[in-house]
Amino acid sequence: MKKDIILSGVGGQGILSIATVIGEAATIAGLHLKQAEVHGMSQRGGDVQSDLRLSTEPIASDLIARGQADLIISMEPMEALRYLPFLAADGAVITSSKPFINIPNYPEEAALQAELKALPKVVQSDIDQVAADLGAARSSNMVLLGMAAKFLEIVSPDTLREAIRHIFASKGDSVVESNIRAFNAGIELSE
């Protein structure tokens, strides 16, 4: 079994934290893992993207070929659309519905939504609002990860929770618990 995942967003949104949690979960589950990241302009609000490949068998390359991604997980709708050429025909897109408008020529929200709604498998929600409603505004990325959990299949939600606990343990129990609550809320959104 394998899962090829593209993670995308804008610098500072927490995409690399999602990649770290999924990677830790894969390690806990004894899976093979390859990852490649692009985040050169992330400190200036630029594109952040990570190819994450998980498998029960050895993996030769860390890059995902066009048309081969099983899943696009994106903190931002335009960034999700940027990577559509890499999505497999039966792949899914999990994204925030709320745009992060950081450029003057950002596309109109209605056009973004029309493109997303035309895709066969899309799950989207205003993850920032969900996290804020939980009192965990900085955990919107974990809401998104929860929304993607059922599509990951190769790692269980319990293993992802264990990874969240491990990754955020140094920040204290309250941070761990707020991230777990956000993750659980994301799972509920995708059901």
CA–centroid distance for 126 within its chain: 14
pLDDT recorded at residue 45: 64
| CA 68 to each of CA 2, 71, 73, 83, 89: distance values in angstroms, whole numbers, following the listed order | 11, 9, 14, 11, 8
- Please identify which residue in the block is written with the tokens 């959990």: 149
- For the chain, the residue count is 191
pLDDT recorded at residue 158: 98
Nearest to 69 by CA among 82, 83, 48, 55: 83
In the chain, domain spans: 2-99+106-189
pLDDT recorded at residue 40: 54
| CA 165 to each of CA 63, 78, 106, 181: distance values in angstroms, whole numbers, following the listed order | 28, 30, 36, 12
Nearest to 165 by CA among 10, 20, 14, 11: 20
> What is the CATH T-level fold of the domain 2-99+106-189, as seen in this structure?
Pyruvate-ferredoxin Oxidoreductase; domain 3 (3.40.920)
Report whether 185 contacts 134 (CB < 8 A).
yes
Per-residue pLDDT for the chain (191 aa), expressed as one digit of tens each? 999 999 998 877 778 899 999 999 999 999 999 998 765 555 556 777 889 999 999 999 889 999 999 999 999 999 999 999 999 999 999 999 998 887 788 888 899 899 999 999 999 999 999 999 999 999 999 999 999 999 999 999 999 999 999 999 999 999 999 999 999 999 999 88
- Backbone φ/ψ region at 128: left (φ over 0), alpha (ψ -120 to 50), beta: alpha
pLDDT recorded at residue 71: 97
0.85 surpassed by pTM: yes
